[in-house]
Structure 1
């Protein structure tokens, strides 16, 4: 699942691990989001399926929506490892005015971020930026999170929300920096997380999340939405950081072991074109 804001996006099938029998990449709106976007195909194409590397299509998103990207092997037991790049097509605009002194300085201490995660059987775990809570090496149910950033610039606002299993009370409710989102001691794993940042164009979230029996997602941007393929998989690993803005990307790679004979790795990159005088 890939959360997209309003805009125009180029879905580019870049490469595959198996060049002889590359997997197919199937693109479709998430259920219920069909009217929020339009998939623009090549004149010779009849369905939103990319059959080999160096092929692509365009997605026009009218209102924020979720895009589903699936990879299917071409033969039984075949590879499902592919790299797909999602590039936002930027309209031309006048570059932002130079910093008047109210912007965020280069010295901002993004390493001061602290992330608390309540892990089943282990309790509260506090880590710094870009450090795993549970994660691929030791997956375990994450039941709640909280973010702290003592050195946060005053102009920056951060909010976040979690999705609880079975839609329990508190699911989807945005909370401010420092607040705890989730449960403790109720055996209710998180099934999704949303991170939002406003008040700056210079910073972005860099987050990774592992969901049980699903690829590990890496998301970059001012608004990050992470969830498993069906939105029901328990969150079993999380790490969050904040970095200075640069062309952003979203990466999904398999971190959980699979029993199938074929490789099952999907890598999805989201990037944005540089603009004259600045970049998001």
Structure 2
């Protein structure tokens, strides 16, 4: 059985590497206040709600724990869980948006961050929580795998297996080394969809010419997981899954009318 897993990252503008978490790319002066959401993110929340009303498929949100310092965000998460129920599952996207593999190895710091993030997210989403992890920015190195496992995560979905972003695996590493370390740790890896070894998720959806390639790739994705399947299938190694992702911020595009390039007939399936 082959299905598609729809996932969304809940980063605000203050989280992107130019603003936060990267040793050379970030400008700390523009991190922004944690309790305030950008206007783009607020627009994205509305656009997401509108899109969810138009279909019955499930979504996994990967949330950065510090987003819950915003009352508006916390209330929004409560509202969509109440409204959409089991169609929403929630995984961890970190305590902050620190690009861990771009920094020197820090097992203790990473472990503390994952533990704190898990506690915060679970407190806010309850039964919709899943022990699934996505490294901020897709920055994941081999040394991180053991920590991910030891802090209770069963699934990792951080690998973007493109040569174009190989440096995100850390200095002197590659995606094969990351895969091996995750496999040895006992964690299930759900890599992101690529086409011709090029990115087709996240920022690639709006970056020409990758945006053209992305649309071609997404047109051929298999049937989306049912609501029941999405609750547990990502951590079932016998389940063949294609993983795609975008950002809540994307839903602010086109005056709040942006939609992921998914065939309507797939989204209209009765889950």
TM over 0.5: no
More strand by share: 1
TM (norm. structure 1) is 0.25
Superposition TM-score, scaled by structure 2 size: 0.25
Higher relative contact order (CA closer than 8 Å, sequence separation 6+):
2
Report the structure, 1 or 2, having the larger helix content. Answer: 2
